[in-house]
C-alpha cells in the first residue's frame, strides 16, 4: 500500500463477567478515555468515529445511539459496523487511506451479561429453515467441532491443550478475565455443553470494551515514537446454511488470510510472522483457524497444537494475551486482538512480551461457525 495507516493508541477495559456498575456508554468511555489520555487528543480532534456493537445484544435499535456523546459525534461522523470489532479497524483503515478522514476513533463494546446470549444467537439463524431447531452458536460450533475432529482425527486432548496454553498465558495479561492453571484432564473432565464442546472448551460470559485511534503516518509521527502500522488486511464470507459448506475447513479464512498476506508481502506465514492473536470462542477453533491461516497444512492443526511452536518462546507464539477463551465479549474479541498485537509491537506487553516482535497477525470472526472471517497484519516501523 502506498500510504500507511498507523494505530497510535489502544485501550481495553478489564474483562469482567458482569459490569452492572456501568451503562454501555460508560463502559465504552472507560476505554475511550484511556486512548485520549495517552495521545493527548480530545474528542473534538476525532474526525470520525467507528463503533462496533450489535442492536440485538444491546437491546436497542441503533445501538450506537448510546455512544454518540462519548465518541464526540455531535455534528460529526459516526458509523457502526455490525460485525466483529476487527472489521471496524478495516473500515477505519479505508477511511484514512481514502483521504476522507485523518484521525479516526474506534470503539467496540458489548455486555454479554445483560442479554440471554443463546436466545440472541438463535436470531442469527435463518428464520424459516434453521431457527426453530433451537440452534445457538455453541450447538452450531459443536456440529463443526464434531465434523472437524471426525474428518481429520483431531482429538479432544489436542483441543484441550489449546485451552491450557491460552488460560495460562492469560496470567500475563492484566485485562484478562479468568486466567487459570488448568490441565488437559480438567478440560476433558468439565461439564459437557454440546458434544464435543465442554464447559472449559469455551469462554465465560464477559463484558468489556476496546478502543483505539487510527491516523495517517504523518500525523502518527507527531503523536508517538512507537509507531505501528497496518501492513495488510482483508475479510471474507462463507455460505450461511451449515449444510452448504464443509465444516471441517474454513475457506473464508483461507481467502481472507491470503489477501492480507499478499498485501503485507508475506509468503511464509510461519516464519515471517512473529506473534499471532487469534479469536477462538471454542477450543477446536484454534487448530482449525491455524490451518486456515496457513500455519500448517489441512488437518494438521492438532499436530501444531501438540508441538511447542505456539508456546511462549516457540517459533510462533499464539495468543500471548490468552486470547478469547479466558473471557472476551463477542464483537470486542477481534478488536482486542488488534490491541494486543499493537502492545506486542510496541514492546508494552509486559510479562507476555514476545521479544523483538516486528510483524503481528490479528484475527477475528463473526457469526455462525465463523461465517465471516477477517485478518489484519500489523508491523512496527
Applying the rule CB under 8 A, the residues between 232 and 291 that interact with another protein are: 234-241, 244, 251-252, 255-256, 259
Tell me the closest approach of the beta carbon of residue 293 to another protein, in angstroms: 16
Say whether residue 181 binds another protein (CB under 8 A). Answer: no
Tell me whether residue 139 or residue 371 sits nearer to another protein (CB atom). Answer: 371
User: Closer CB to another protein, residue 200 or residue 253?
Assistant: 253
Grid cell, residue 27, equals 463502559
- Interatomic CA distance for residues 145 and 320, integer angstroms: 24
Q: Which of residues 69-108 bind another protein (CB under 8 A)?
A: 69-70, 72-83, 87, 90-91, 93-95, 97-100
- Tell me whether residue 18 or residue 271 sits nearer to another protein (CB atom): 18
Could you tell me if 112 and 335 are in contact, meaning their C-beta atoms sit under 8 angstroms apart?
no
Say whether the peptide bond before residue 369 is cis (omega within 30 degrees of 0).
Answer: no
Asked if 42 touches another protein (CB under 8 A), the answer is: yes
Nearest to 224 by CA among 103, 330, 139: 103
Which residues from 136-175 bind another protein, rule CB under 8 A? none
Q: Residue 43 Cβ, how far from another protein at the closest point, in Å?
A: 4
Query: From the list 40, 44, 181, 356, which residue makes contact with another protein (rule: CB under 8 A)?
Result: 44
What character string, x for contact with another protein (CB under 8 A) and - otherwise, covers 3-32?
A: ----------------xxxxxxxxx-x---
Stretch near another protein under the rule CB under 8 A, chosen from 58-66, 170-178, 190-198, 209-217: 58-66
Shortest CB 86 distance to another protein, Å = 10
Note whether 358 binds another protein by CB under 8 A. no
CA separation, residue 332 to residues 89, 296, 336 (Å): 11, 27, 6
201 near another protein, judged by CB under 8 A:
no
DSSP, collapsed to helix, strand or coil, labels residue 37 as helix
C-beta pairs of 298-303 under 8 Å, 24+ apart in sequence: 298/152, 298/249, 299/151, 299/152, 299/153, 299/154, 300/152, 301/152, 301/154, 301/158, 302/152, 302/153, 302/154, 302/155, 302/158
Measured from the CB of residue 211, what is the shortest distance to another protein in angstroms? 13
Q: Please state, in angstroms and rounded to a whole number, the distance separating the CA atoms of residues 210 and 132.
A: 34
Cα separation, 224 vs 8, whole angstroms: 7
Residue in the structure block whose three cell numbers are 499436530: 303
Question: Which residues are bridge partners to 364 per DSSP?
Answer: 374
> At its nearest, how many Å lie between another protein and the CB of residue 105?
11
Question: Of the two residues 17 and 179, which places its CB atom closer to another protein in the complex?
Answer: 17
Nearest distance in Å: CB 375, another protein: 11
The distance in angstroms from the start CA to the end CA of the chain is 14
Decide: is 47 part of the binding site for another protein (CB under 8 A). Answer: no
| Per CB under 8 A, 211 contacts another protein | no
Q: Which is nearer to another protein, 91 or 180 (CB)?
A: 91
Amino acid at each position: 500500500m502506498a500510504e500507511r495507516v498507523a494505530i497510535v493508541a489502544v485501550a481495553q477495559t478489564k474483562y469482567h463477567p458482569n459490569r452492572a456498575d456501568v451503562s454501555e456508554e460508560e463502559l465504552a468511555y472507560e476505554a475511550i478515555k484511556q486512548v485520549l489520555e495517552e495521545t493527548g487528543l480530545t474528542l473534538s480532534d476525532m474526525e470520525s468515529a467507528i463503533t462496533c456493537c450489535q442492536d440485538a445484544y444491546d437491546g436497542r435499535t441503533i445501538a450506537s445511539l448510546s455512544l454518540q456523546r462519548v465518541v464526540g459525534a455531535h455534528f460529526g461522523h459516526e458509523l457502526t459496523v455490525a460485525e466483529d470489532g476487527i472489521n471496524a479497524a478495516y473500515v477505519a483503515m479505508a477511511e484514512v487511506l481514502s483521504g476522507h478522514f485523518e484521525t479516526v476513533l474506534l470503539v467496540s463494546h458489548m455486555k454479554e451479561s445483560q442479554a440471554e446470549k443463546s436466545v440472541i444467537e438463535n436470531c442469527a439463524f435463518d428464520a424459516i429453515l434453521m431457527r426453530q431447531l433451537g440452534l445457538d452458536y455453541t450447538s452450531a460450533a459443536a456440529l463443526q467441532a464434531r465434523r472437524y475432529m471426525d474428518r481429520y482425527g483431531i482429538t479432544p486432548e489436542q483441543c484441550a491443550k489449546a485451552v491450557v496454553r491460552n488460560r495460562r498465558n492469560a496470567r500475563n495479561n492484566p485485562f484478562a478475565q479468568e486466567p487459570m492453571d488448568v490441565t488437559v484432564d480438567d478440560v476433558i473432565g468439565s461439564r459437557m455443553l454440546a458434544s464435543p464442546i465442554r464447559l472449559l472448551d469455551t469462554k465465560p460470559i464477559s463484558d468489556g470494551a476496546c478502543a483505539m485511534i487510527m491516523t495517517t503516518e504523518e500525523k502518527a509521527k507527531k503523536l508517538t515514537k512507537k509507531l505501528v502500522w497496518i501492513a495488510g488486511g482483508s475479510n471474507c464470507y462463507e455460505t450461511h446454511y451449515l449444510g452448504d459448506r464443509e465444516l471441517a475447513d474454513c475457506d473464508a479464512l483461507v481467502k481472507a488470510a491470503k489477501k492480507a498476506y499478499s498485501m503485507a508481502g508475506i509468503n511464509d506465514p510461519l516464519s515471517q510472522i512473529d506473534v499471532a492473536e487469534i479469536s477462538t470462542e471454542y477450543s477446536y477453533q484454534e487448530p482449525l483457524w491455524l490451518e486456515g491461516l496457513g500455519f500448517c497444512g489441512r488437518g494438521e492443526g492438532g499436530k501444531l497444537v501438540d508441538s511447542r511452536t505456539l508456546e511462549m518462546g516457540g517459533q510462533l507464539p499464539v495468543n500471548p494475551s490468552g486470547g478469547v477463551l479466558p473471557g472476551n465479549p463477542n464483537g470486542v474479541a477481534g478488536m482486542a486482538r488488534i490491541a494486543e498485537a499493537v502492545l506486542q509491537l510496541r514492546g508494552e506487553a509486559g510479562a507476555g512480551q514476545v521479544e523483538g516482535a516486528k510483524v503481528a497477525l490479528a484475527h477475528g470472526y463473526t457469526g455462525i461457525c465463523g461465517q465471516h472471517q477477517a485478518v489484519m497484519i500489523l508491523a512496527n516501523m
